[in-house]
């Protein structure tokens, strides 16, 4: 599975952005998909994850109510709709894929097997 995140950019606080993650590989639809973000000097932070059927979704506390994760298995893609952006959301955002090993979504970056190159989101105040 190869992943490519896109859609980042420079926006003002309160604006919205939609990130996309294109997944290639025949097994892409069989993976849980996650979004993480990272700023310099900090560990990668869990943002959101979605199961293969989209029935299970999880969000990090800092983005609940503002961000929405979705996927389109027919397009082998995952998305992160980010609304009411804050300067604290500034980070490099990564999409990742986790081969399911159980019913629960993983919030740990170490559980995700495949990572794409990140896309930078900058939110100005």
Per the CB < 8 A criterion, the answer to whether 91 and 63 are in contact is no
Residues 6 or more apart in contact with residue 108 via CB below 8 angstroms: 46
The rounded distance, in Å, linking the Cα atoms of 83 and 14 is 7
Q: Residue 20 to residues 32, 64, 103: CA-CA distances in angstroms?
A: 15, 19, 25
Percentage of residues of the chain with pLDDT beyond 70 = 99
Res. 26 pLDDT band, cuts 50 70 90: low
Residue 121 contacts residue 93 (beta carbons within 8 Å): yes
Stretch 73-101: mean pLDDT: 95
CA pair distance 70, 77, nearest whole angstrom: 9
Residue 109 contacts residue 44 (beta carbons within 8 Å): yes
Report, as an integer, the average pLDDT of 69-98.
97
Flag whether pLDDT at 72 surpasses 80.
yes
Q: Assess whether pLDDT exceeds 80 at residue 102.
A: no
Check pLDDT > 70 for residue 13: yes
Backbone φ and ψ of 30, nearest 5°: -95, 0
């Amino acid at each position: 599975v190869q992943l490519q995140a896109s859609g980042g950019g420079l926006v003002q606080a309160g604006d919205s952005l939609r990130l996309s993650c294109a997944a290639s590989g025949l097994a892409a639809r069989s993976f849980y998909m996650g979004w993480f973000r990272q700023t310099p000097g900090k560990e990668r932070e869990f943002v959101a994850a979605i199961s293969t059927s989209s029935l299970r979704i999880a969000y990090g506390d800092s983005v609940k109510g503002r961000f929405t994760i979705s996927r389109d298995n027919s397009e082998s893609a995952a998305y992160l709709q980010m609304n009411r952006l804050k300067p604290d959301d500034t980070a490099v955002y990564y999409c990742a894929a986790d081969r399911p090993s159980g019913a629960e979504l993983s919030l740990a970056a170490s559980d995700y097997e495949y990572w794409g190159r990140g896309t930078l989101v900058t939110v100005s105040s």
